[in-house]
Amino acid sequence: MTTHIEVRRGSYHDSVTLLQVSQDVAAVDGVDDAIVAMATELNLAVLADLGFDRVDLGDATPNDMIIALRTADDEALRSALGAMERSLSASSRSTSGGDFQAPPPRTVGVAARSTDTNLAMISVPGEYAFVEAMDALRAGLHVMLFSDNVPVEQEVALKREGARRGLLVMGPDCGTAIVGNVGLGFANVVRPGPVGMVAASGTGAQQVCCLLDEADVGLRHVLGVGGRDLSAEVGAASTLQALAALDADPATELIVIVSKPPDPEVADRVRNAARQCDTPVLLGFVGRDQLDLTAVADAAAERVDHPITNHRRWDPSVIPSPAVGELRGLFSGGTLCDEAMVIASAALGPVRSNIPLEPDWALDGDDADGHVMIDYGEDTMTRGRPHPMIDHSLRLNSLRREAQRPGSHVVLLDVVLGHGADADPAGALAPAVAGARRVAADRGDRLAVVVSLCGTRDDPQDRDRQAAALADAGATVHLSNAGAARDAVRLVSGDNR
């Protein structure tokens, strides 16, 4: 066994590039572990979990690139390092651009003034997002701000500036939008139709979109506004703007508003605005005593005369037995995690989380006992890393840990498809699910796995093939996140129905 740890000072590459480099290196024969990443605290913690000695990294900072390899022998290490250099070089060539008659624009404002576009999509590290978004607004552009880790006071300032100029600010942390039937960010392939959506939630919007598409109900616009828009600090600034815009659109026959758990007073403000609309409005606020997102999709489909009779699921060849113990949720979507916690806590009691429903349910680390659900897409989990819809490595590590925990348990996973997401999530997750269940079975325990699959039949990943692969690995797969959560609760409660 050969171990190699290297720090390259001041060598920056974006997280998606380094994920591809790591995958290219991991595919080399004789490579057991390969991490090529920026030296953020989260990435350093991942290295520690894999058994690499953090002392060997010295005083590496997030501006430094780390290379950590574990190979069968020195020859495999040389091959791995060669593959890494080739992958980094190929990435540099692909992003350097071709020949230009004139220098490319250096700012959003300059680019805007040279085209007739009216929307800027901005995806830069959070500390730089405010300047770029403000530049776009001052150039007269609506903004979709994909970036996360943007301070809330900067969000408020951007939305005030946008409102003053009659421009919509979607985000920050706006992962999903559909504008004029064109998907932006993490977007599923849905048919065009009469429904418009305002979404203070990325995966919440995707869940409703996918369930509607399955019922042959089409979408016209999905205006993401960022997960904090209905917080007390932001006050639904973009939600109210987007609601008014959809209400003024004669082709929109029904408006659906989806949000992470909102501030109560802000939610009332949105309800009051919805009552003033000429277009019918359905509210989908995730939280206790609210309709779950599946019920919201059912109600929307009913309103446009496409009632949903059932929600598809795929069962494994051997139906899982109850695994009385603890429920562990490993999520890439924050709203899907919120919804699952609302459902689970109503039946099981407190569910600890890094995005807790109650302050005293906050989770410190992810190895706590009891019922736990983690949102791996939360801002602190994505600094210097690709979003978990692209990179499953953190969840794979957690799934391996869950398999090694004594006792029988239930693991609840979400898998989100669509443009921008991993091209083949089941390729990584299905073997991990099968392996985790096998580890538990060898110990005499049961590990049941339930998957919430958010996707449409036309998504590029081939949704039905993804579902079949996960079911073949032993998971029960649901298109409804609420259905998956209730199934997981049933199993962990010992219900054999």
* pLDDT exceeds cutoff 60 at 81: yes
pLDDT in tens, 56-71: 777 888 888 889 999 9
Q: What angle do CA 287, 288, 289 make, to 5 degrees?
A: 115
Helix (H, G, I), strand (E, B) or coil at 264: helix
Type of residue found at 316: P
Q: Which residue has the tokens 């171990």?
A: 3
pLDDT in tens, 243-270: 999 999 999 999 999 999 999 999 999 9
CA distance 422 to 405: 28
With a CB cutoff of 8 Å and minimum separation 6, the contacts of 457 are: 213, 214, 463, 464
Percent of the chain with pLDDT over 70: 96
Q: What pLDDT shows up at residue 100?
A: 45
Rounded (to 5) percent helix, strand, coil in the chain: 40, 20, 40
Q: Which residues of 282-304 are buried (b: 16+ CB within 10 A; e: fewer)?
A: bbbbbbeebbbbbebbbbbbebb
R_g (Cα) of the chain, nearest Å: 23
* pLDDT exceeds cutoff 80 at 224: yes
CA distance 386 to 93: 21
Please tell me the CATH code under which domain 108-303 is placed. 3.40.50.261
Q: Which fold has domain 313-493?
A: Rossmann fold (3.40.50)
Q: Which CATH class is domain 2-95?
A: alpha beta
Do the domains spanning 108-303 and 313-493 agree at the CATH topology level?
yes
Q: What is the mean pLDDT of residues 279-300?
A: 96
- For residue 255, what are its two tokens? 């408006």
* pLDDT exceeds cutoff 90 at 497: no
Domain ranges of the chain: 2-95, 108-303, 313-493
- For residue 180, what are its two tokens? 């004029």
| pLDDT bracket for residue 45 (50, 70, 90) | confident
CA distance 405 to 447: 10
- DSSP code, position 40: -
Helix axes 74-95, 15-26, angle to 10 degrees: 150
* pLDDT exceeds cutoff 60 at 102: no
Q: Which residue has the tokens 């099968």?
A: 434
Q: What pLDDT shows up at residue 345?
A: 97
Nearest to 196 by CA among 299, 282, 290, 259: 282
CA distance 288 to 425: 31
CA distance 151 to 163: 19
